[in-house]
Amino acid sequence: MADTVIVGGGAIGCATAVYLLRDEPSRDVVVLEPDPTYAKAATPRASGGVRQLFSCPENIALSRYTLEVTKTDTWHRNGYLFIASVADTDALRANFETQLAMDVRAEWLEPAHLAERFPLLATDDLGAAVLSADDGWLDPHTFLMRLRSEAESLGARFLRDRAVDFAFKGRLVSEVVLASGDRLPAEHVVNAAGCWSPELAARAGVPIPVEPMRRYEHFVEADGDFGALPFVKDPAGLALRPEGAGLSVGLVDFGHPGGFDETIDSSYFDKVVWPALAHRVPALDRARLRSTTVGHYDQNRLDGNAIIGNWPQARENFYLASGFSGHGLMHAPGVGRALSELIAYGEFRTIDLGRLGYGRIVKNQPYAERGIR
């Protein structure tokens, strides 16, 4: 019998395996990952951002931990910049006060100061901005491969198979049923299957309001030097950062129906993204769209925050790590550590993630992240 079976070998699953084995090297940890190339996984298609500019203290603490423990050679420490409309300035200020209380090295910028610091950005329609200089982005694929390599070096067994169902004894998951027909007895099961986690959670009797949400990442090439820009998030939902000889740009359509839709709407960039981008960065008047990739968020439709932990009233030994809504990569190390603590000791010992637990799903009580999406 395995001590722990982790369903999903992405960043969250690999990080959980790492921390379980750091805590107790003799554990038998099995990670189920049906595709070792990660062709359709969320992690390699992420933008790679890691920021502390959140409203929920838990999210700030999780990001800070990633900043502390991730190797420096993977980082682009250009900072993160949240810019707000006049109408959103009070909310930005409230979040800023929370960030300062959590010792984030954040700076409040009025529009005139913002224009001086980042002359490439249009600021006439803004109320204020917050800059977090310690934040930035990393290469998602490198990040994932390092986590997987460490998990394997510590003794985690990666199986190329897919979980399709479970067997139960009372409130315990006793076996994980695999697509191959094999069955894995387990003392603990972690559902870290990302966009595939809702179906498995439902089969375990702990349904979650999570669904795959399509997102595009556009690479835009342009004349000029954009390399000094931070990772920018603006009121329209636009996200941009330097990439090579241009910019990596995204603007998620939160109204798009959930599901595994991998089609690329060739008109979306021209209709939605380009107007927002040209407005915010006027120097891009001769930009060229070079490529568009499509990926998915495991979007928590209740409140946009992760669901982490177990629900003993239903399944004592079944642990959720789902619904990250675009924040899974940046929070993977802290979530992996937290799950290992919960499995080993029955409680969170470093970052208290109790408010991100399944109880709020049962009670339909959102714990919403109010930072700009």
- Strand-pairing partners, residue 85, are 126
Of residues 42 and 308, more confidence is placed in: 308
Instruction: Report the distance separating Cα 171 and Cα 192, nearest Å.
Output: 20
The most distant pair of C-alpha atoms in the chain lies apart, rounded to whole Å, by 64
The CATH number of 75-136+213-296 is 3.30.9.10
Prediction pTM value: 0.96
The strand ranges marked E within the chain are 2-7, 29-32, 49-50, 75-76, 80-85, 106-109, 126-132, 136-138, 157-159, 163-169, 172-178, 183-191, 210-221, 231-233, 239-243, 246-250, 288-300, 307-311, 315-322
Among 228, 220, 199, which Cα is nearest to 77's? Answer: 228
CA torsion angle 167 170 171 173 (round to 10): -20
Where do the CATH 3.30.9.10 domains begin and end in the chain?
A: 75-136+213-296
Q: What is the DSSP string of 143-193?
A: HHHHHHHHHHHHTPEEE---EEEEEEETTEEEEEEETTS-EEEEEEEEE--
Average pLDDT rounded to a whole number, residues 94-104: 98
Per-residue pLDDT band at 41 (split at 50, 70, 90) = confident
pLDDT (tens digit, 9 = 90+) per residue, 171-204?
A: 999 999 999 999 999 999 999 999 999 999 999 9
Of residues 284 and 207, more confidence is placed in: 207
Average pLDDT rounded to a whole number, residues 341-346: 98
Share of the chain above pLDDT 90, in %: 90
Asked if residue 372 has pLDDT above 70, the reply is: no
Among 282, 338, 316, which Cα is nearest to 174's? Answer: 316
pLDDT (tens digit, 9 = 90+) per residue, 125-177?
A: 999 999 999 999 999 999 999 999 999 999 999 999 999 999 999 999 999 99
CA 262 to chain centre: 19
Average pLDDT rounded to a whole number, residues 354-371: 95
What pLDDT score was predicted for residue 44?
83
- Residue 273: Cβ-neighbour burial (10 angstroms; 0-12, 13-18, 19+): buried
Asked if residue 281 has pLDDT above 90, the reply is: yes
Helices (H), 24-179: 57-69, 89-101, 111-117, 140-154
Question: Using an 8 Å Cβ cutoff, are 292 and 249 in contact?
Answer: no
What pLDDT score was predicted for residue 100?
98
Instruction: Report the distance separating Cα 322 and Cα 71, nearest Å.
Output: 25
Per-residue pLDDT band at 39 (split at 50, 70, 90) = confident
Instruction: Report the distance separating Cα 166 and Cα 149, nearest Å.
Output: 28
Q: For the chain, give the mean pLDDT.
A: 95
Instruction: Report the distance separating Cα 347 and Cα 339, nearest Å.
Output: 9
Average pLDDT rounded to a whole number, residues 70-96: 93
pLDDT (tens digit, 9 = 90+) per residue, 306-338?
A: 999 999 999 999 999 999 999 999 999 999 999
pLDDT (tens digit, 9 = 90+) per residue, 220-234?
A: 998 888 999 999 999
Number of Cβ atoms within 10 Å of the Cβ of 26: 7
Asked if residue 373 has pLDDT above 70, the reply is: no
Q: At what angle do helices 57-69 and 328-345 cross, to 10 degrees?
A: 100
Average pLDDT rounded to a whole number, residues 290-295: 94
- For domain 2-44+140-209+303-363, the question of CATH label 3.10.520.10 is answered with no
